[in-house]
Amino acid sequence: DLEAVSRGDLSLAPGIGRTFGVRDVEQSIFDLLRGVFFWKSCVGTRAIAMNVDVDPETVMRWVEENLPSAYADPEMLERAYEYLARGDVFFGRIVRSQNWRLLSYGSDMITLGVCSVKHMGGRVTSARFSYPSTIKMMARVSSIRQKMRRVCRRVGALLHVSGKVVKEEILPILALRRRDRGFIERLSREANVEREELAEVIEYFSRRVSS
């Protein structure tokens, strides 16, 4: 299995395709991170990277986020960040040239490259993996935008106007009354929208306007 391969050496490489090609097991991002940061051999890491159901740039964000907590040695960190930077360069070239043959090079940099840094002999610490802060922020922004569209649509239906009109003309007015809990409660009931969701959208809109 993966762990057995990870403890092997390069002589096992020809068997990796047979082992994982047949099984085609979809690995999780956490399996990949464990391989990158903690396995002594990096041979199995590439096999996981080929099967993980996450795009390479997202993998890079995961590795980048957890790198400081895994590699305590400054020289190891510096070398690992160099590999991440090289991977990022390859991904940028793909976007500009649409040369997808470069994808494997970029993926190897952010997985095998970072994994190989352990051979410098520095200390590797075991820590719980953290979700990338950039992805968390993007997910939250996406969520609040979905809520805003839903609120605008339902308030628009109540007032017989479009969601665009609600967003551009009504939300600024609602923002002025965001502290009026009775008003928010009544509007949420009449517009058939959750009070917490309505309050969150109005508060988010208010912060955007004031920032």
Question: Each residue of 139-155: pLDDT tens digit?
Answer: 666 788 888 889 999 99
Q: 42 versus 2: which is more confidently predicted?
A: 42
Q: How confident is the model at residue 47 (pLDDT cuts 50, 70, 90)?
A: confident
pLDDT of 113: 92
pLDDT of 18: 46
pLDDT of 109: 93
pLDDT at 9 over 70: no
- Type of residue at 39: W
pLDDT of 152: 92
pTM: 0.55
- Estimate the crossing angle of helix 56-70 against helix 133-159, to 10 degrees: 130
CA–CA separation, 172 vs 108, rounded Å?
Answer: 49
Instruction: Find tokens 């740039």 and name the residue.
Output: 57
Residue 82: which of 43, 46, 116, 36 has the closest Cα? Answer: 116
Give the rounded percent of residues in the chain with a pLDDT score beyond 70.
Answer: 81
Q: How confident is the model at residue 208 (pLDDT cuts 50, 70, 90)?
A: confident
pLDDT at 90 over 80: yes
Mean pLDDT, residues 110-137: 79
Q: 8 versus 40: which is more confidently predicted?
A: 40
pLDDT of 128: 76
pLDDT of 211: 56
pLDDT of 25: 39
Length of the chain: 211
Tokens read off for 112: 């095998």
Q: What is the mean pLDDT of the chain?
A: 80
Q: How confident is the model at residue 46 (pLDDT cuts 50, 70, 90)?
A: confident
Burial of 33 (0-12, 13-18, 19+ CB in 10 A): buried
pLDDT at 15 over 60: no
pLDDT of 10: 39
CA–CA separation, 35 vs 23, rounded Å?
Answer: 18
pLDDT of 41: 80
CB < 8 Å & 24+ apart, contacts of 145-152? 147/197, 147/200, 147/201, 148/201, 148/204, 148/205, 150/193, 150/197, 151/191, 151/193, 151/197, 151/198, 151/201
pLDDT at 182 over 60: yes
